[in-house]
Amino acid sequence: MSKMEIIHSLIDDIPVLTVSGKIDAMTSKDLENALAGLIDNNGNFLVIDMEKVEYLSSSGLRVLMASLNKLKKNQGDLLLAALQPFVKEVFSLTGAIRFFSIYPSHKEAIKSLQR
Amino acid sequence: MANSLISDSLVLLQAVSVIIVAALLISRSRQFNDVIDGKPTTKSQMLLAIFFGMVSIYGSIIGINFLGAIISVRDLGPLVGGLACGPVVGLGAGLIGAAFRISEGGFTAPACSIAAALAGIIGGIIYRRKGRFPGIAFSTAFALLFELFHMLLTLAISQPFDMAMDVVSQAFGPMILANGAGMLIFAFIIENVIRERETMRERDRYQLELQIKKAELVVAADIQKSFLPGKIPSPNGFDIAATSIPAKEVGGDFYDFAMQDGNLQLVIADVSGKGVPAALFMALSRIIVRACSAPLRSGFERLRCANKMIVDESGSDTSGMFVTLFLGRLNLLDRILVYANAGHNPPLLFRADLKSIERMDVTGVALGMMAEMEYEQRQVSLAPGDVLLLYTDGIVEAMNKMEDLFGERRLRSALTAAANLSAQEILDRILRDLAGFAEGVEQSDDITAVVIKVTG
């Protein structure tokens, strides 16, 4: 069945979620919980490394949009890194790509925050 | 002495075994279950009192006569009756046991009959206090203590004292052992029945809830179906077919047609997610798009209006919900289609002359993501034989067992292969290819498609 894994880490004090697998209607709830926990507990900036995300459904995109909006309200941001072509296509098709800061890797995402 | 302790105990344990079998049977009875469910009728209480009274009598009969006293498990019936079924059953069983004991006579008859009656009464009082059977450990400890009390009572009121002392020293071990063991096993059986009934009640409650939810969903699904056009329009020169199959009872896809001043307005849309949340959002979006479709508005104006209203009214800011939507206005005379696409899977346009497929690309952001978005509109001119296919991502993102996606490539092949057929046949072909690809893998997202073929 569709599986997704989330690894939490803290790189230079910035929370990084490394997500792998498929973000679909089932798994997006887990992602939503993981993000909700981080947004409540931590600072205003979050990085999601999506290098190993092979599929993103509209349910998954909804979760990312909701988290982005929440962070932006606190003058924060949700940075996405290393989108695979299929995932990137979902962002560009729906137009969501305009609202997210997208980086080639989580390292570069973090670097942009330190500037 | 040691020998008789063992043999007496064995006799009593044999009696207990018989009682246990009877208990197993009675624990399955409707009367007992009435009591466990907390709604005993007078009749079931009387029947249970008689049953536990008989158990007490059986205990007396099978008991060992020793110097005119009876070493027995007489108290067990009233004890269990009281502890498991309450004061009425306890008292009834105790009195029956006591009456029988008196009829047997002997110098310990007063003490033993009082004990039998008290076993039922005290057991019943404990039940009343706790509001339920007090559990295995408590009941067993109580039975042991009660037998100790029974012995002390015998010593206190039986005459002559020396004989009473002899009887008690002989009866003490076997009676404590057998009544304690009997109660332990009884309590196990009763706890099991109680737990079983609780599980059943919970299951029944859960099933009832589920049935209600299902019934509600059926109603919701009917309401949602009524949102879809009841009749597919069939304007001159065009052949149209459409279908929408939600993954669950209700879904987030919709399509809409409206004839307006020689134009066919058409909409296909897909709300993020699926199920009830998507269905609610779909209902709202559909109404908003309709409200924004005043005759004079152009496609981009309608999308801008709908986007703003959805952002303002739906709380999409917090929920992250959005809807991808394609809308077109097809002039039925000159066959010019003006369209705007808010983040929706680009519809495919099969060109009959070139046998090739064009995509009707996105011209703006999905609705509900952000207020104040701008939308472009474009137009294409259709020719006889051309086929326009509008669809939602449930088709291209359908998965097979290998978790491959159906994809746009397979959809294009199906469209090309069937393009010379009727609109309905093209739709059927696409759905058939999709089913063949999925090989029975459960549909994971709502599937919607609209086929418009230019016939002449």
Residues of chain A in contact with residue B343, where contact means CB-CB under 8 angstroms, are 93-96
Mean pLDDT of all residues in B216-244: 92
Query: For chains A and B, what is the number of CB pairs under 8 angstroms?
Result: 76
Chain A nearest-CA distance from B315, in A, is 10
Q: Is the pLDDT reported for residue B1 higher than 60?
A: no
**Across the strands, what pairs with B65?**
B70
Minimum distance, in Å, between the CA of residue B274 and any CA atom of chain A = 8
Average pLDDT, chain A: 91
B-interface mutation test, from A53, A62, A73, A91, most B Cβ less than 10 A away: A62
Question: Which helix (H) or strand (E) element contains residue A18?
Answer: strand A14-23
Confidence bin at B287 (pLDDT 50/70/90): very high
Mutate to test the interface with B, among A65, A70, A71, A99 (most CBs of B within 10 A): A65
Q: What is the pLDDT of residue B307?
A: 94
- Sheet containing B447-454: order of strands: B238-245, B447-454, B387-391, B348-351, B356-359
Confidence band of B297 (pLDDT split at 50, 70, 90): confident
Q: Which residues, numbered 13 to 72 in chain A, qualify as contacts with chain B under a Cβ-Cβ cut-off of 8 Å?
A: 22, 24-25, 28, 55, 57-59, 61-70
pLDDT attached to residue B9: 81
Q: What is the ipTM of this complex?
A: 0.90
Instruction: Select the more confidently predicted residue: B212 or B36.
Output: B212
Greater confidence (B85 vs B40) lies with B85
Query: Average pLDDT, stretch B383-398?
Result: 96
What is the per-residue pLDDT for B64? Answer: 85
| pLDDT of B454 higher than 70 | yes
**How confident is the prediction for chain B on average, in pLDDT?**
91
CB B70 within 8 A of CB B113: no
Averaged pLDDT for residues B23-51 = 88
Nearest chain B residue to A58 by CA: give it. Answer: B272
* B residues 328-347 closer than 8 Å to A (CB): 342-343, 345-346
Q: Which residues of B touch A66 (CB under 8 A)?
A: 318-320
Partners of residue B405 in chain A, C-beta under 8 Å: 55
Please give the average per-residue pLDDT across B283-290, as a whole number: 92
Best-predicted range by mean pLDDT (B6-20, B259-273, B355-369): B355-369
Candidates B83, B150, B157, B148; CA nearest to B122 is B83
Partners of residue B319 in chain A, C-beta under 8 Å: 62, 66
* Whole-Å CA distances, B208 to B194, B195, B200, B221: 21, 20, 12, 20
Q: Taking CB atoms and an 8 Å limit, are A65 and B318 in contact across chains?
A: no
Q: State mean pLDDT over B419-434.
A: 97
Contact B257, B266 (CB under 8 A): yes
Tell me the nearest-neighbour CA distance from B358 into chain A, angstroms: 16
Contacts with B373 from chain A: Cβ below 8 Å: 95
Does residue B132 surpass a pLDDT of 70?
yes
Which chain A residues are closer than 8 Å to B346 by Cβ? Answer: 93
Please determine, for residue B2, whether its predicted confidence score (pLDDT) is greater than 60.
no
What pLDDT, in 10s, does the model give residues A43-84? Answer: 689 999 999 999 999 999 999 999 999 999 888 999 999 999
pLDDT at B296: 59
Q: How many CA atoms lie within 13 A of A43 on its CB side?
A: 13
Q: Identity (one letter) of the amino acid at B130?
A: K
> Looking at chain A, which residue has its C-alpha nearest residue B444?
A25
Confidence check: pLDDT of B429 > 80: yes
Of B275, B320, B373, the CB nearest to A63: B320
Mean pLDDT check: name the lowest of B39-48, B63-72, B166-175: B63-72
Contact present, A48 and A71 (Cβ < 8 Å)? no
pLDDT at B17: 85
Q: Is B10 helix (H, G, I), strand (E, B) or coil?
A: helix
Instruction: Please check the confidence at residue B3 and state whether its pLDDT lies above 70.
Output: no
What does the block give as tokens for A22? Answer: 């498929």
Contact across the interface for B393 and A58, Cβ inside 8 Å: yes
Say which of A25, A69, A93 has its CB closest to residue B345: A93
Backbone angles phi, psi at B229, to 5 degrees: -55, 130
| Burial call B204-242: b when 16+ CB within 10 Å, e when fewer | eeeeeeeeeeeeebeebbeebeebbeeebbeeeebbbbb
B365 closest CB neighbour out of A66, A69, A95: A95
Strand partners, A19: A6
Tell whether the model's pLDDT for residue B333 goes beyond 80: yes
B428-454 mean pLDDT? 95
SS (H, E, C) B142-157: HHHHHHHHHHHHHHHH
- Lowest mean per-residue pLDDT among A4-13, B16-25, B318-327: B16-25
Q: State residue B193's pLDDT score.
A: 87
* Residue B414: Cβ-neighbour burial (10 angstroms; 0-12, 13-18, 19+): buried
Mean pLDDT (whole number) for B422-443 = 95
Q: Which of B275, B322, B370 sits opposite A62 (nearest CB)?
A: B322
- Reported confidence tier of residue A42, pLDDT bands at 50, 70, 90: low
CA dihedral B122, B123, B127, B132 (to 10 degrees): 170
Does the beta-carbon distance from A59 to B272 stay under 8 Å? Answer: yes
Cα distance from B251 to chain A (closest Cα, Å)? 13
| pLDDT at residue A21, rounded to an integer | 94
> Residue B210: which pLDDT band, with cuts at 50, 70 and 90?
very high
For B321, the closest chain A residue by CA position comes to A62
- A55: which strand partners? A22
Determine the pLDDT at residue A2: 58
Kindly state whether B366 is in contact with chain A, defined as any CB-CB distance less than 8 angstroms. Answer: yes
Preferred mutation among B253, B272, B317 to probe A, highest tally of A CBs within 10 A: B272
> In chain A, which residues have their Cβ closer than 8 Å to the Cβ of B275?
25
| Class of residue B5 by CB neighbours under 10 A (exposed 0-12, middle 13-18, buried 19+) | middle
Chain A residue with CA closest to B361: the answer is: A93
CA dist., res. B452 & res. B387, Å (int) = 6
B393: left (phi over 0), alpha (psi -120 to 50) or beta: alpha
Question: Is A95 close to B345, i.e. CB distance below 8 A?
Answer: no
User: Is the minimum CB–CB distance between A97 and chain B shorter than 8 Å?
Assistant: no
Transcribe B66-96 into DSSP letters: ETTEEE--TTHHHHHHHHHH-HHHHHHHHHH
Check residue B66 and give its pLDDT.
81
Q: Do B274 and A66 touch (CB under 8 A)?
A: no
Residues of B in contact with A28 (CB under 8 A): 273
Any A CB within 8 A of B445 CB: yes
Instruction: Return the pLDDT at B453.
Output: 97
Judge whether residue B394 has pLDDT over 90.
yes
Strands (E) across B211-322 are located at 238-245, 253-260, 263-271
| Mean local confidence (pLDDT), B290-302 | 80
Pairing type for strands A101-103 and A77-81 reads parallel
The pLDDT of residue B293 is 84
Residue A22: the pLDDT is: 93
Give the pLDDT confidence score for residue B10 in this predicted structure: 83
Are B320 and A93 a contacting pair at CB < 8 A? no
Which residue in B369, B391, B405 sits closest to B450, CA to CA?
B391
Task: Give the residue-averaged pLDDT of B199-227.
Answer: 91
Q: CA nearest A59 in B: which residue?
A: B273
Q: What percent of chain B has pLDDT over 70?
A: 99
Task: Specify the amino acid at residue A11.
Answer: I
Share of chain A above pLDDT 90, in %: 79
Q: Note if the pTM is more than 0.80.
A: no
* pLDDT band for position B401 (cuts 50, 70, 90): very high
Q: What is the mean pLDDT of residues B283-288?
A: 93
Residue to mutate among A94, A98, A100, with most B CBs inside 10 A, is A94
